[in-house]
Amino acid sequence: MLKIRSRPLSPHLTIYKPQITSVFSIWHRITGILLTLIMNYILILLKLSIYFPFDMEFNLFLNHQLNFPDWIINTLILNLLIFFLFHFLNGIRHIIWDLGFILSIKMIYRTARLTSFFLFLILINLTLKIFN
């Protein structure tokens, strides 16, 4: 008969307190994956447009059938830009770390707050430009 041992479970991600460094790391990976998927989708559409030229009647029909409001399209564009900007600004932090600068915990937190501040300013600016 099998003996069941009472072993301690490995800690799950939910028991840890979220830190700005871990949140930025996770979001950097998520935005990288999303940007890669979106870029591949756009490249596939461009490749298909070479072999299958666009038919204007079909495009008008599709546009009429989908009938997306402008605010939905603007929100999607804004989210794509925010993903790109976050990934870009956080990528600059990673390049600086790779060069051996700003490696103290205090400076890492400070640059994370600075990245958040710049992202927030750019978000306000883009929102006002896109929705006005």
Amino acid at 12: H
Q: Is 87 marked as a binding-site residue?
A: yes
Q: Which long-range contacts (CB under 8 A, 24 or more apart) does 14-20 make?
A: 20/109, 20/112, 20/113
86 burial level (CB within 10 Å; 0-12, 13-18, 19+):
buried
Cα(94)–Cα(88) distance, integer angstroms: 10
Packing angle of the helix pair 105-131, 70-98 (nearest 10 deg) = 160
Cα(57)–Cα(40) distance, integer angstroms: 26
User: Known binding site for heme: residues?
Assistant: 87
User: Known binding site: residues?
Assistant: 87
